[in-house]
Amino acid sequence: MNQTHFSMTRITKILIANRGEIAVRIIKTAHLLNIKTVAVYSEADRLAPHVRLANEAVLLGPPPSSESYLIEEKIIEAAKATGANAIHPGYGFLSENAGFAKKVADNNLIFIGPSPEAIEVMGSKLAAKHAVSKYDIPMVPGTDKAIQDPEEAKVIAKKIGFPILIKASAGGGGKGMRVVNNEGELEENMARAISEAESSFGDGSVFIEKYITSPKHIEIQVLGDQHGNVIHLFERECSVQRRHQKVVEEAPSPVVSEEMRNRMGQDAINTAKACGYYGAGTVEFIVDEAMNYYFLEMNTRLQVEHPVTEEISGVDLVEQQILVAQGEALQIKQEDLTINGHALELRLYAEDAEDNFMPDTGTLNVYKRPSGPGVRVDDGFDEGMEVPIYYDPMIAKLIVHGSNRTEAINKMIQAINDYKIEGIKTTLSFGKFVFEHPEFQNGSFTTKFVESHFSPEKLKLGKQNEKLAAAIAAAMFFEKDNAIPKISNDENLGWNSRMQ
């Protein structure tokens, strides 16, 4: 593969074109490597930790991202004005914008990420499928090109069988998908999907996939350099989702065998090779009940859930991104990597799980992080700060690492109990519901988990039980340590019975 954006320049100062927890995360590693940092911020983020932690900070403009974090010229100008020689885009915002990556390079700055060409190919789900078609990577049955005509869609849908999923080729973040259960629903859904794709992504291309009714979402972390080396850092299981968006992630997956991991890993490496990929990337698969896996897409950036991989592999992915962007060859060999223990992550969204996960805003009147061995909090807020309405509602990620899955789950529940947040609704109690649920504990959960098991009533009931338990505990001078829920030895069913 032709490595057109090869460079051997040492990175001395990084501008982080992002905010919140991911900006803080990147600054921390940059400083460990003795690299200076420049934060950018909007008027809503004047007091944000990423602004304070960076060596310098540049105001971009008013709060809306379209007037601040998304203005490419201002960001490049800020990098030049401060003498930064590299830009890290984080995730979201401009991270998967091929045009921006190219502009950065055209201005003699290093883009900490893959080449614009790789971003472009993988940014389109259809182009991505086409790119990997030369390898024998399993695909979800469906169309391999954009489709407009409802009559043609009907023929294809009948062939693959309902239910089907209409997807926007340019879609992302769980948006632009429509499940169609029968022929009668097809025409209207298709028209809607096309117009939604046009208005949300500026590209009305849609295609059809077989809708896998109850799959698992399992993805592989890859890392490539500019010399053609690509390795994988095992899988992450991200099946607990709401609105097709992840809330809980873990590594490794409780159902993936060594043999399956190797196969998926090799397919992920081939996917990366198909587009000359370098930097950190993620190849996403869905897995059906018979443990067949299918390629979904590749994300050409650092993922929100990257910490669980860092915890089990001992690799700092941001450090690797920086080294690769400098033109260094990967020092880690596939055979050097082993899985150490188990890691879990809960995304703390400012959302009301009792009200259909509606975003909530307000002030973090009380904000006390849990701590302890194997407990990590990646966040971008402090006590007393306001959570602005303008951006993604994720305020923090709670990550735990244990020597095995049971230990990690117990540690997570303890950390959730220790996390004190007041003034804003979060997904903290929802997380507790998940980690205490037998189906999560036995590993058989799928992307249908929230829909099948969660209801606001259950959460309320949980809270009432908690109050009752607290009252009983107080009355009996119950020792705190004894209150840690133990993982039940529920009979392993479904997914778990197949994992051996």
Contact with ligand ADP (CB under 6 A) among 90, 171, 204, 254? 171
Does residue 297 interact with ligand ADP by CB under 6 A?
Answer: yes
Q: Dig out the tokens for 457 from the structure.
A: 């009533």
Query: Which one of 242, 301, 347, 405 is the catalytic residue?
Result: 301
**Contact of 87 with 109, CB cutoff 8 Å:** yes
Does residue 311 interact with ligand ADP by CB under 6 A?
Answer: no
Q: Dig out the tokens for 292 from the structure.
A: 């067949």
**CA distance readout (Å), 359 to 456, 458, 482:** 15, 20, 35
Q: Which of residues 236-265 bind ligand ADP (CB under 6 A)?
A: 241, 244
**CA distance readout (Å), 392 to 18, 334, 349, 350, 499:** 12, 35, 9, 9, 35
Contact with ligand ADP (CB under 6 A) among 45, 120, 209, 311? 209
Give me the DSSP letters along 394-444. Answer: EEEEEEEEESSHHHHHHHHHHHHHH-EEESS--SHHHHHHHHH-HHHHTT-
Helix, strand, coil tally for the chain in percent (to 5): 40, 25, 40
Q: Is 95 exposed, middle or buried (0-12, 13-18, 19+ CB in 10 A)?
A: buried
By rule CB under 6 A, what count of residues binds ligand ADP? Answer: 20
**CA distance readout (Å), 96 to 23, 111, 112, 433, 443:** 16, 11, 11, 33, 32
| Residue positions counted in the chain | 500
For the question of residue 236 being annotated catalytic, the response is no
* Least spacing, CB of residue 3 vs ligand ADP, in Å: 27
The interface region with ligand ADP, picked from 167-175, 322-330, 380-388, 479-487 by CB under 6 A, is: 167-175
Per-residue contact flags (x/-) with ligand ADP for residues 390 to 429, judged by CB under 6 A: ----------------------------------------
Does residue 173 interact with ligand ADP by CB under 6 A?
Answer: yes
Q: Which is nearer to ligand ADP, 117 or 284 (CB)?
A: 284
Q: Which is nearer to ligand ADP, 356 or 365 (CB)?
A: 356
Does residue 95 interact with ligand ADP by CB under 6 A?
Answer: no
Provide the sign of the torsion angle of the four alpha carbons 468, 473, 476, 482, taken in this order.
positive
Does residue 447 interact with ligand ADP by CB under 6 A?
Answer: yes
The interface region with ligand ADP, picked from 68-76, 206-214, 275-283, 413-421 by CB under 6 A, is: 206-214
Interface with ligand ADP (CB under 6 A): 140, 165, 171-175, 209-212, 215, 217, 241, 244, 284, 286, 296-297, 447
Catalytic residues: 301
